Amino acid sequence: MEPVEEQDVLQQARQLLREAPLIDGHNDFAYILRGWFAGTPQIQEQGRYRSIPIGQTDVERVKKSGLGGQFWSAFVPAPPEEHEPHLRAFLHTVQQIDLIAQVIDSAPDTFEFAYSAKSITRIFGTGKIACLVGIEGLHQIGGSMAALRQLHRLGVRYATLCHDTNNEFADSATAQRARHGGLSPRGSQAIREMNRIGMMIDLSHTSDDCQRQVLALSQSPVIFSHSSCYALRAHPRNVSDDVLALLKKNNGLIMITFLRELSGIDELSSQTASCSTVVDHIEYAARCTGWEHVGVGSDFDGMLEGPTGLDDVTAFPCLIAEMLRRDISRDQMQMVMGGNLLRVLKDVEDHATRQRNDGASVLQDTVLPVWTEAQREMLLAKGAERGLVTSDTSQTV
C-alpha cells in the first residue's frame, strides 16, 4: 500500500490532469496493432485491441492514463535508401491512418479526432481525448508533395523528416554516414511546403546538421516529438545544447521522450532510466530554452520496456507527481503538459493562413505524360473547331 503522502501527491497529479490537457507527442500503438493483428480482417468488429496482452497501450489503459491529447504515430518502417520513392510505404501509411481512425471511431465516448489547436481544447473540455496523427519519416509520402498534402487533409499534423536511415529529404542521426550533409535541396522545398500547408516539422531522428539547417530555414516553429537532452545522455538521437538554443529562437518545442536509451543520465551509469531521470531531462531542457519550449513525447509502444515507474500509458500521473515533488510551478507544468504544444500548433496554423492569404505557390509534383501525341492533336483539333484554341493555348496544352 502506498504511503499517505504519496497517495496525496498522486491525487494532486490526477487533479491537475483533469484541469489541463496532457498532450503526448508520440505513441506507436497503431504499429503494435498492425503486427498483433497482421492478416486479420475486421479489427474493429473483433474489438480485441481494447485490451491486449502486449505493448504499453490499449483502449482500456488509455482510459486510465489521464491523457488529454495524443499524437498517434502512423509509423511505417523505412525501406533501404536505394528503393526510393517508397510508394508501398505511402500505401501502408494510409492503412495505418485508417486503423487509427477505426480505433477512434470505435470508442466515441473516449476519443475524438482533432484537426487544430482549437479543437484539442474543445475536445478536452468534453472529457474525451483529442487524437491527432503524425508520420515518422518523409519516406512515407512516396516522394510526392501531393501525397503530403493529402495526408494533411487526413489529419496528419506533423511529419518527422526521416527515421533511422537517410532519405531523399534529410539525413538521419543514426545513419552510418551522411548523404546530404543535413537537408537536401528537395528537403528544403519540403520544409517550405510544410510551412505553407500548416504541417508541423518534427526533427526527432534527424542529424545535427539537418536540425541546424531546418531551424534556420523554417518560418514556423518546429518540434522534436520524442527526443531528450544530449548533455545528460550522449546519444545521437538526443538534442545538443546549441540546437536547443536555436529551438528557443525558433519558438519551437522539444517533447522529452521515455525511451530508456535516451532518457537516462550518463553520470549515473549505475542507475537505469526512471521517471526521475525523465524529469531531469525536462528540467534541463527548461533551463536551456525556458519552460515555454518543453513538452512530453513518450514513444510508448516504440520500446519494449519503459523507464522505471513509466512502463505504460497508465503511468502518466506518476510523471506529473514527480514534477510536483520538484516544486515546479503549476503554470510551468501546464505548459509542459500541453500548453506549449497548443501554442506551437496554433502558430503553425496561423502562418499557413497567412501563406494562403498571400497566395504562396504550391510545390507541385512532376506529372508524367498521360496522353499520346495523337490524343493531344485530336483534342486540339476539337478545341479549334469550337474556337477555343489560339496559337498561345496550343503551345501550352
What is the set of active-site residues?
26, 28, 136, 163, 205, 226, 299
Pick the closest to residue 328 from 317, 340, 339, 320 (CA basis).
Answer: 320
Pick the closest to residue 27 from 4, 51, 61 (CA basis).
Answer: 61
Distance separating alpha carbons of residues 299 and 315, to the nearest angstrom: 13
* Residue 190: burial class (beta carbons within 10 Å; 0-12, 13-18, 19+): buried
Cell numbers representing residue 372 in the block: 499520346
Bridge partner list, 131: 70, 113
Distance separating alpha carbons of residues 271 and 38, to the nearest angstrom: 37
Distance separating alpha carbons of residues 264 and 233, to the nearest angstrom: 6
**C-alpha distance across the termini of the chain, in Å:** 77
With helix as H, strand as E and coil as C, how does the chain read?
CCCHHHHHHHHHHHHHHHHCCCEEEEECHHHHHHHHCCCCCCHHHHCHHHCCCCCCCCHHHHHCCCCCEEEEECCCCCCCHHHCCCHHHHHHHHHHHHHHHHHHHHCCCCEEECCCHHHHHHHHHCCCEEEEEEEECHHHHCCCHHHHHHHHHCCEEEEECCCCCCCCCECECCCCCCCCCCECHHHHHHHHHHHHHCCEEECCCECHHHHHHHHHHCCCCCEEEEECECCCCCCCCCECHHHHHHHHHHCCEEEECCCHHHHCCHHHCCCCCEHHHHHHHHHHHHHHHCHHHEEECCCECCCCCCCECCCCHHHHHHHHHHHHHCCCCHHHHHHHHHHHHHHHHHHHHHHHHHHHHCCCCCCCCCCCCCCCHHHHHHHHHHHHHCCCCCHHHHHHC
